[in-house]
Structure 1
Amino acid sequence: MNYETPLFFHVMEYADAADRDVIDMVSGNPDWQPPDALREGLREYADLEPDRFQYPPSEGLLELREEIATRRGVDADRIVVTNGAGEANYLAMARALERDSGDEILLTDPVYPYYPGKTTMLGGTQSYVATDEAGQLDPDDVRAAASAETAAIVVNTPNNPTGAVYPAETMRELVAIAEEVDAVLISDEVYDHYDLSGEFASALEIDSDHRVVTNAVSKSMAVTGVRVGYAVFPPGLVANAKSRHMLVNVATTRPGQYAVLKALRETGPDYYERNRQRLRDRVETFTDALDAAGAEYTSPSGSFYVMARFDGYPGTLENVERLIDEAGVAGMPGEAFGDSRTEWLRFALVTPCVEEAAERLARYFD
């Protein structure tokens, strides 16, 4: 079986090899500081006894799972601590397909490219439901597309790449559809702390044996390299998810879990609000410049991203490479996210150079 390397890596390598300075707006790596308590936790860990550097419990440190459980209103034994949200989504999709209730994974268009890649790796087939211009998903469209062959419906809210935040009614309907066709709704909520609209609704608010919620601290604590995520499974799916996690990864970083636990306990809401405000300011700065460049663009309700369309400049890999060479700005081609946004480019606002990038784009497309 052939696996396609995500275009993210190609674009980043191309930008790194450029003969000029390039502003990286490709990947969602926050440029701001992690919580102080997380740094303190890592320092503390360095001085612990040798036994604390050995294998942790495979499903995650009990104290961390209990902390997450309290915050999310679930039982700790339903939580698997994973190597980021990426593994959490992999485990959820694998469990959905192992239920022998179809081999179709229903995805949105546009889509975060790792979902179709994981579907291929797991032997499933992809089908897509288009979102509207604002990135919102109409449950009626999902219901029309779902069938007895649908093993899972995978959604991401707040959304990458559109910035859409699905309201509570949409989430309730998606869970209901999963129940109707005996599928699993997999809700990737890794950007939940970057809801800029106040409309975010977690799928955990709906009690069901047909939904899995995935998350991580990668984005919320600006530590994509620490690799601590988690999945919340229904009781009937969690045991085999733990077994697969053990066979694939054995366990997740013990020092990282320790530091994340300390940060969860000691980091106040002001940390997250400061970073949301930082993003609001960057969205305004960036979209003002897009206005000056005569571009169409999305106004994100959450996550890190703005999609833009420049007249006569479709979102191809070739055009992204031209933009790197000629404007010094690296974004992602819209074609990487499916068929519906091939005229668009996606920019990640996780760089302190947002204003300079915006000015470069305005000059380039003037």
Structure 2
Amino acid sequence: MEYETPLFFHVMGYAADAEGDVIDMVSGNPDWEPPESLREGLREYADFDADRFQYPPSEGIRPLREEIAARRGVGVSQVVLTNGAGEANYLAMARALERGAGSEVILTDPVYSYYPGKTTMLGGRAHYVSAGADGQLDPSVVRAAASEDTAAIVVNTPNNPTGAVYPEATVHELVEIAETNDAILVSDEVYDHYDLSGTFTSALSVDSAHRIVTNAFSKSLAITGFRVGYAIFPPHLVDDAKSRHMLVNVAGSRPAQYAVLRALQETDPAYHEANRDLLRERVDLFTGALESAGADYVEPDGAFYVLARFDGYPGTLETVEQLIDQAGVAGMPGSAFGESASSWLRFALVTPRVEEAADRLAEYVA
């Protein structure tokens, strides 16, 4: 079986091996600080008794699951802590497909490039629907594509790579489409703290047995290396998800989960607002420089990516390597996110050098 292998690690390695100064805008690794309370939680954990260094409950430590459940308005038994949002999405898609209610997975185009590989790995068949130039998804397009063979509809809001944030009406209609076709809406909401539009709506706002919400603290707490994520399942789907999680991972990191719990309990909302303000400033700097150079771009409403387009520079791996070698800026090829993004390049705004990066790109392609 051949899997669709994402290009992220190839591009990151190529940029790391390049000669000269390269501004890294490849992957969504926040360059800002995690909450101080998270660091304090790690320091505290180092002095715990030895029994706290052993296996945690497979589904995650109960205090963190209780904290998540209280914040999201669900039962604690519905929450499974996972190895980042990546495993959360894997478990959600697996539960959708193994119900015997179809083998098709509806994905958007552009698409976050790990979803297709998971679909193949789980024995599903991808069916792509266009999300449009701005990344917004028209529910009528999804409704037309859905059928009795649809097992899952997988969406990401705020969206990577487009920055689109789906309005409440779209989210509610996507849940209704899943219900009508006995499918599962898998809503990946890992960028929920980076909604710049004020319009984000979680799929949890709809009480339904046909939706699974996935998330992680990788982005919201700037800890992509901790791998603490979670999935919220309908009650009838959660037990088998816990079993699969146990068989694949046994359990997650107990110290990381404890530190996240401390951060959730003690971090002021001002921490998140300051990070959104930083991101808004970077969006303005980057897109302003692109606009001055006459480049096309997609203004993001959330997440922390910008799609940019330069005449004569298609969104291919070859173009990305050329820009690394000759312009000193590393981004991702739009082709990695689907056919509709093949003329675009995606840049992650996770460096204080975003304006310099845009200036370098503009100067090189001029």
Class of the TM-score when normalised by the shorter of the 2 chains: over 0.9
Show the counterpart of 2:238.
238
Is residue 4–residue 116 contact of structure 2 (8 Å, CA) maintained in 1? Answer: no
Uncovered stretches (5+) of structure 2, i.e. residues with no partner:
none
Distance 2:353 2:252 in 1: 33
Show the counterpart of 1:30.
30
SS in 1 for 2:242: helix
Number of equivalent positions: 366
Distance 1:238 1:341 in 2: 35
Cα drift, residue 113 of structure 1: 0.4
**1:9-24 alignment, distance < 5 Å:** 9-24=9-24
Cα drift, residue 5 of structure 1: 2.7
SS in 2 for 1:81: strand
SS in 2 for 1:199: coil
Q: Spell out, residue by residue over 1:298-346, the C-alpha distance to the aligned partner (whole angstroms, 9 max, x if none).
A: 1000001000111121101101110001100000001000010100000
Show the counterpart of 1:262.
262
Report whether the alignment pairs 1:178 with 2:178: yes
Show the counterpart of 1:305.
305
Q: TM-score, normalised by structure 2?
A: 0.99
Give me the identity figure in percent: 73
SS in 2 for 1:158: coil
SS in 2 for 1:272: helix
Is residue 293–residue 365 contact of structure 1 (8 Å, CA) maintained in 2? Answer: no
Q: Spell out, residue by residue over 1:163-203, the C-alpha distance to the aligned partner (whole angstroms, 9 max, x if none).
A: 00000100000000000000000000000000000000000
Show the counterpart of 2:220.
220
Distance 1:314 1:361 in 2: 14
Cα drift, residue 4 of structure 1: 3.6
AA of the residue aligned to 1:349: L
AA of the residue aligned to 1:278: L
SS in 2 for 1:244: helix
Uncovered stretches (5+) of structure 1, i.e. residues with no partner:
none
Distance 1:86 1:214 in 2: 9
AA of the residue aligned to 1:59: E
Distance 2:161 2:4 in 1: 19
AA of the residue aligned to 2:84: G
Show the counterpart of 1:346.
346
Show the counterpart of 2:83.
83
AA of the residue aligned to 2:46: A
Is residue 279–residue 349 contact of structure 2 (8 Å, CA) maintained in 1? Answer: yes
Distance 1:177 1:2 in 2: 31
Distance 2:186 2:272 in 1: 25
Report whether the alignment pairs 1:65 with 2:40: no
SS in 2 for 1:154: strand
SS in 2 for 1:248: helix
SS in 1 for 2:263: helix
Calculate the aligned-residue CA RMSD, in Å: 0.6
AA of the residue aligned to 2:101: S
Show the counterpart of 1:288.
288
AA of the residue aligned to 1:85: A
Show the counterpart of 2:252.
252
Cα drift, residue 134 of structure 1: 1.2
Cα drift, residue 133 of structure 1: 1.7
Structure 1 segments of 4+ aligned residues over 3 angstroms from their partners: none
